Amino acid sequence: MRRGIPEGAPGHPRKSDPRTNPPHLTPLPRHRERRGTAEPDGPLAPARDSSSRGQPGESGRRGRPARGDSPLSGRAPVRQVPRILYEDEEIIAVDKPSGMPVIAADGSRARSLYDFITRHIRMSNPKGRAAVVHRIDRDTSGLVIFARSAATKRSLMGDWDRIVRERVYAAVVEGEMDEPSGRRESWLMENRGGTVYEVPAGTRGAKRAATRWQVRAHGSGRSLLELRLETGRKHQIRVQLAALGHPVAGDERYGARTDPLGRLALHAELIELVLPGRREALTIRCPVPPAFRAACEERVSRLPAAAPAAKRNGHPRHGDR
């Protein structure tokens, strides 16, 4: 320790130096500023839930990581804002984001499509309420129909199979199909864990399922399919495509090994129905996400041919190195 150095002179210890001052005089450490955690807020940004914020490096939700944060995909989270496609005095058609449930599970506080549509209805009718007519899987995106009243719901669900004339889905599947089109008919059962599987025809409790498919594009070891439902069974498309050896990309439950979109690559694209009391059919479309086709495009990297270096007096010019 140095002695005899006047205070303020070179070499004299500063009062804030923790090496020479007592602990009670040492300045408190500053909190480090987190980097990369700020998210831009815009008109389509989802509401934040302060009760579900994760720690730095997490996906923002405790428990299961968001699909968009999957290490298999390395992609950003998918859109989480529904979009109204069509509405009249009886029904509302909406584009549901992947990862949002149509109805929240019992005891869950997660945002659901039902809540979104109910809020939309109450903007014009404070006592109004959405009525669920049909559902699609939580991780499937695309077209869902809601009724504006319980009476409309009863009329639609009472004869749904006759009212709905066409249901079309789009899917990105692993591998390239052997044929340009085809049809799959099988019998499905569901176990206690909610997984559906095919069984022999005539199995007690099994339900018949039929799907027609057609290839729209293929490449990069994947195929983009158009799928038309003849029946509407739980997980019908996912189970039947997996049985064909071409599971839907991102569908871990039914054997997919890749996740190019960071989500289940299944989208409800079109529905055609004749509403009670109407003569003409109503066709509602929900555009397929551009990433579906992009996932099936061949990506070939080609380097341009090297140009000969210009020389002067046998030496390369400046900048040709």
Is residue 78 a contact partner of residue 262, using CB atoms and an 8 Å limit? Answer: yes
Catalytic residue among 95, 137, 139, 259: 137
What type of residue is 175? G
Q: How many CB atoms lie within 10 A of CB 300?
A: 6
Length in residues, the chain: 321
Close Cβ partners of 192 (under 8 Å, ≥ 6 residues apart): none
C-beta separation of 119 from 155 below 8 A = no
- Is 137 labeled as catalytic in the residue annotation? yes
Name the token pair of 204.
């007690």
What the block records as the tokens of 136 is 């699609």
Q: Residue 236: which H helix or E strand, with range?
A: helix 236-243
Beta strands 141-147 and 266-273, pairing class: parallel
Please check whether residue 295 is in contact with residue 265, taking contact to mean a CB–CB distance below 8 angstroms: yes
* Phi-psi region at 252: left, alpha or beta (left = phi > 0; alpha = psi -120 to 50): alpha
φ and ψ at 151, to 5 degrees? Answer: -65, -45
Among the listed residues 131, 159, 161, 124, the one whose alpha carbon sits nearest the alpha carbon of residue 146: 131
For strand 222-229 and strand 207-219, is the pairing parallel, antiparallel, or unpaired?
antiparallel
* Residue 85, number of CB atoms within 10 A of its CB: 17
Beta-strand (E) ranges in 131-250? 131-132, 141-147, 164-174, 181-190, 196-199, 207-219, 222-229
Residues annotated catalytic, as ranges: 137
